[in-house]
Amino acid sequence: MTAENTADNTADVKTAAADDSPLSALRWAGVVAVLRAPSPDSALAAVDALVAGGVTGIEITYSTPDAPGVIAQVRERHPQALVGAGTVLSADQAKAAADAGAAFLVSPGSTPGLVEAMLDTGLTVLSGALTPTEVMAASALGVHAVKLFPASLGGPGFLRALRGPFPDVPLVPTGGVNAGNLRDWFAAGALAVGAGGELCSSADIAAGRWQALTERAQAFAAALAEARR
C-alpha cells in the first residue's frame, strides 16, 4: 500500500463517525461477514462467534431459514453490529428484512424492479455487478454501492481497473476476500469487503466450530486495522 492510500484509508476511518451518508456505517465496519447457516440457532451462534472476534458487519442471507427473525434477534443481542440482509431476490424479502430492522440490503444482481423495491425501504442498498456495463447499469438505478461479485474472478487488479472509469462508484468486492489479501482490496479502492466462506464457512457453522469462526474473525479484524494504517 502506498503512503497516499494509507492516508486515505486513515482519513476514512476518522471521518466515518461524523459522516451521516448511507454508506458511513458500512465504511466504518469495513468487513461484512456473508452468513449462510442451516438454521436460525446456528446463525445466531455464528454471529456471536464473529462479533467476539471483532467483525461487526453481518449480512444474514436469505438462504438462512427465517432470515428476518435472525436479523431481529441479532439486533437485540449485538446492538453494536451493523446487520443487513443478503441474497435479496424479491420485494417481499426486502420489506420483511426492513421490518425486522435490517440496516442494509444486498442483492446478487441488479434488476430494475428489485432495486426499486429495495430503495423504497429507505435502507442502504447494494446490488451485484461484475462487468463495466453491469456497474453502469447498477449505478444508474441509484444503488448506494455496487457489490462486485464474484470478485474472485478478477481480484484486486480488476477492482483497481474499474476505479478508472468509475472513480465515484462505491464498490464492495465479495468473493475471494481473505485476511491475507484484504489489504490489497482496500488499496485497490474498496469501500468495504464482503467475506463468506473464507470468514464463516458453511462447514464450520454446520459443525458448530465456533472458535474457528472467532479466530478467523480476529485475523480479518487485524488485517483491516493494518490496511487502515
Positions marked active-site: 59, 147
Whether residue 157 contacts residue 183, with contact meaning beta carbons closer than 8 Å, is answered with no
d(CA 184, CA 56): 21
Beta bridge partners of 33: 58, 195
In sequence order, what are the residues at sequence separation of 6 or more whose Cβ sits closer than 8 angstroms to the Cβ of residue 216?
53, 179, 198, 199, 200
Classify 30 in phi/psi space as left (phi over 0), alpha (psi -120 to 50) or beta.
left
Whether residue 95 contacts residue 119, with contact meaning beta carbons closer than 8 Å, is answered with no
Burial class (CB in 10 A: 0-12, 13-18, 19+), 156: buried
**Structure-block grid coordinates of residue 110:** 441488479
Instruction: Calculate Rg over the CA atoms of the chain.
Output: 16
In sequence order, what are the residues at sequence separation of 6 or more whose Cβ sits closer than 8 angstroms to the Cβ of residue 204?
212, 213
